Amino acid sequence: MISRRGRVRSRIDDLLEARNLRRRVAFTVPTLALALRTVADHDLVTVVPALLGGQALPAPLQAYPLPTDAPAVPAVLAWHVRHDRDAAHRWLRILVKDTLTAIGDTARP
């Protein structure tokens, strides 16, 4: 499971429970890259956003859709107030926001 805070439960567990299913979390890792590497090295599965998993999958991993729709995962930008007027920081925030918006727009049917 991917969790920066080491949590072993997520929205995926709620979706599984609605189908009378459950999972056993063997590892909790903080990043997608580490999750993919761990799954590639062990006999495990993980859940990743479709937009991030497809071409990022190392061989011999395969991607399969979830059997049900999953809720959208919000993206949040946060920064210290001292960076509000910093031109480089503002440029980076705008770039990240525009990129995430474009990715989100292409993901919608």
Q: What is the pLDDT of residue 108?
A: 54
Q: Where are the alpha helices (DSSP H) in the chain?
A: 11-18, 32-41, 50-53, 87-107
Residue whose pair of structure tokens reads 């799954």 in the numeric block: 39
Contact residues for 12 (Cβ-Cβ < 8 A; gap 6+): 23, 47, 66, 70
Q: What is the pLDDT of residue 82?
A: 96
Q: Give dist(CA 84, CA 66) in Å, integer.
A: 40
Sign of CA dihedral 71, 49, 92, 29: positive
Q: What is the pLDDT of residue 52?
A: 67
Q: What is the pLDDT of residues 33-72, one digit of tens each?
A: 899 889 989 989 998 877 766 666 777 888 888 878 887 7
Q: What is the pLDDT of residue 100?
A: 84
Joined together, the tokens standing for residue 26 give 């063997």
Q: What is the pLDDT of residue 24?
A: 92
pTM over 0.85: no
Q: What is the pLDDT of residues 72-109, one digit of tens each?
A: 777 789 999 999 999 999 999 999 999 888 877 665 55
Q: What is the pLDDT of residue 9?
A: 92
* Cis preceding linkage at 58, omega within 30: no
Q: Does 16 score more than 70 pLDDT? A: yes
Contact residues for 50 (Cβ-Cβ < 8 A; gap 6+): 63, 65, 107
Q: Give dist(CA 68, CA 42) in Å, integer.
A: 25
